[in-house]
Amino acid sequence: MDFARINAAALSQLPQILPRWLPAGRRRFREYVALNPKRHDRRMGSFSINLTTGRWADFATGDKGGDPIALAAFLFDLEQRAAALKVAAMLGLDPFER
């Protein structure tokens, strides 16, 4: 599976993907800030995704990752491979094509 290609494709579409995954969020400069759906988050600010790099973190819990596949794995409780397959399917990519 070509994780790098899937991540690159997801990164290029991140501004369109994140409102689907985190609909209550909003863009703030180069970041997308949202409530963390994995905890009882009442105010936006601690959970953010960098739209340029794909790195994300919840500074309140210490959860973090470096790319869109890791974010999908976190949000949807998936292993990395299953998250990559989900992201590839969403983008219409063959995950095994090189």
Whichever domain contains 59, its CATH number is 3.90.580.10
Query: What number of other Cβ atoms are within 10 A of residue 41's Cβ?
Result: 17
Largest CA distance in the chain: 42
Structural domain for 65, as ranges: 3-91
CA-CA distance, 22 to 36, in Å (whole number)? Answer: 8
Residue 25 has pLDDT above 80, yes or no: yes
Greater confidence (79 vs 60) lies with 79
Within a domain: 96: no
Whole-number pLDDT of residue 84: 97
Whole-number pLDDT of residue 95: 84
Whole-number pLDDT of residue 9: 97
Q: Please count the structural domains in the chain.
A: 1
**Which residues face 57 on adjacent strands?**
48, 64
Q: Is the pTM of this model over 0.85?
A: yes
